[in-house]
Amino acid sequence: MDEMSRQLLQQVRAPIKMRPGAPYREDHHYRRNGTASLFTFFEPLAAWRAVMTRRRRTKIDWARCIRTLLTVHYPTAERVVLVMDNLNVHHLSSLYEAFGPAEARGLAARLEIHYTPEHGSWLNVAEIEQSVLARQALGRRIPTLEAMQEITTAWADRRNRSGASVDWQFTTADARIKLKRLYPKIDD
C-alpha cells in the first residue's frame, strides 16, 4: 500500500483538439481545484490493484480505505498482510479514531502490517504501480475528485483484467549486499 497526492486542475480555456498535422494544445493557465489523495493497494502475485481516491490524507481517510480493503476486497480473508511506509497516519490507532472499539479491534485483528525501512520505500511494489498509474492515466489535467476517481478506477480495472504485475528482481543475495548496514553483525 502506498499513497500519493495529485493536484486537481481545471482548464480555463478549452484546449484545441488534435487533428492531422497538428498536436493537441492547451493553454498554460489553469484553475487549481485542490488536491486528491490516491491510496493504492497492490497484490502483485494476484496481479490485482485498487486505487481509492480521497479529498485528504488523514488518519480517518486511511482507516476508511483499510475498512474498504478488508470488507469489500478481502471479506473472507482471515489475515491480510500489508506492506507500507511508516507514515504518521499508517497505524492501527487510526482505526480506533475512525470507528468504534469493536469494529476497530475486528479490523486490526485481520491485519499483519510490515513497514518498509526508512528511506526504503522503493521496496514497496505499490510505489512502482503508482508510477505506472501516473504515466498511463494521470498525465493530463483532471478537474474534480469525481473525475479522478473515475479515471483511477478505470485504469485499475483495465490493469486487473490484463493481468499486469510487477516483475520484482531484487533477490535476497542483492539485499544482503545493498542493505548490509541494516543486517545485524554476527561474530563467529
pLDDT tens-digit map of 4-16: 999 999 989 988 8
**36 with 153: CB under 8 angstroms?**
no
Q: Which tens digits make up the pLDDT trace of 45-63?
A: 899 999 999 999 999 999 9
Q: Domains of the chain by range and CATH?
A: 2-182 (3.30.420)
Averaged over 129-142, what is the pLDDT? 94
What letter would DSSP give residue 72?
A: I
Q: Give the pLDDT score at 124.
A: 72
Q: Phi and psi of 42, rounded to 5°? A: -140, 125
- What element of type H or E holds 24? none
Strands 48-54 and 30-43: antiparallel
User: pTM for the whole thing?
Assistant: 0.84
pLDDT in tens, 62-90: 999 999 999 999 999 999 999 988 888 88
- Lookup: cell for 156: 485499475
Amino acid in position 132: V
